[in-house]
Amino acid sequence: MKLSGKVAAITGAARGIGKACAKRFLDDGVKVVISDVDAEGLAATAAELARPDALRTIVGNVAKRADVDQLVATAAKEFGRLDIMVNNAGVARNRDILEISEEEFDEIIGINLKGAFFGVQAAAKQMIAQGGGGVIINMSSVNALLAIPALATYAMSKGGMKQLTSVAAVALAPHNIRVVAVGPGTILTDMVASSIYTSEDARKTVMSRTPAGRGGEPSEVASVVAFLASDDASYITGQTIYPDGGRLVLNYTVPVKEK
């Protein structure tokens, strides 16, 4: 297995894409520390994954630098090092752009963008301290490039993450640390259920912009993360890879014929 023996940390892994990444890494022989603000969900996920030999959990809020530092410190303490950091935690809030308060702007940018920045810093410091090398993967979105009017703060945060990934890749290349991002289209998680599939009409609109004719599975994002974390991607840095069922290359819409 290509990732066997590596150590990874994943934020926002109590459910959804982060949880799928944890499962994939464990299946690939990686030792994993997962964190989330949702203590109950985190404990339930650890129980479900049932890998006490290779899995640790730590409750934390990525918007707080000390919590992100603590996640990285836990990987180093429990498993001796950190090879892969997945800055996955993220939130989306539907709001008319004219109604977004300063508090909500700070909250979304604080979690999605500042949280990922803290993750880049903390992981890179650990990777440099252990002699260099490693991969940092930011969970972006097609909304880094596309715009949905009701998701302004989300789009701004993911657009910022694109540049976070670029600049960190260039800054950390001398330490042999690759920094990449994954930008999913519509993936069937709780986030989509609560913020995107708000009605049957909304779901059909999404499908009309999805040539693949279906939403993606979290495991289909985790497999891209596993590839990027591996040496098969050794010459990829600074880029965002988009597992999006064809959304970004589509002009106009497709007829909705669901699979």
Site residues for ligand NAD, 24-83, by CB under 6 A, read: 36-38, 41, 61-63
245 binds ligand NAD (CB under 6 A): no
By CB under 6 A, what part of segment 109-168 binds ligand NAD? 111, 139, 141
Q: Any idea how long the chain is? A: 259
Stretch that binds ligand NAD, among 13-21, 25-33, 50-58, 167-175 (CB under 6 A): 13-21
Q: Using the rule CB under 6 A, is 240 a contact of ligand NAD?
A: no
Instruction: Please list the residues that pair with 199 across neighbouring strands.
Output: none
Q: Does 187 bind ligand NAD (CB under 6 A)?
A: yes
Question: Taking Cα atoms as reference points, which of 196, 217, 84, 212 lies closest to residue 143?
Answer: 196
Report the residue number, 126 or 141, with the smaller CB distance to ligand NAD: 141
89 near ligand NAD, rule: CB under 6 A: yes
Q: Does 11 bind ligand NAD (CB under 6 A)?
A: yes
Q: Is 154 a catalytic residue?
A: yes
Choose between 40 and 232: whose C-beta lies nearer to ligand NAD.
40
Cβ closest to ligand NAD, residue 176 vs residue 208 = 208
**Smallest separation (angstroms) from ligand NAD to the CB of 50:** 19
Buried b (16+ CB within 10 A) or exposed e, 105-130: beebbbbbbbbbbbbbbbbbebbbee
Among the listed ranges 6-14, 97-105, 162-170, 246-254, the one in contact with ligand NAD (CB under 6 A) is 6-14
Q: Which is nearer to ligand NAD, 2 or 214 (CB)?
A: 214
CB of 141 to ligand NAD, least distance (A): 4
CB closer to ligand NAD, 194 vs 253 = 194
By the criterion CB under 6 A, which residues form the site for ligand NAD? 11-12, 14-18, 36-38, 41, 61-63, 88-91, 111, 139, 141, 184, 186-187, 189-192
Catalytic residues: 154
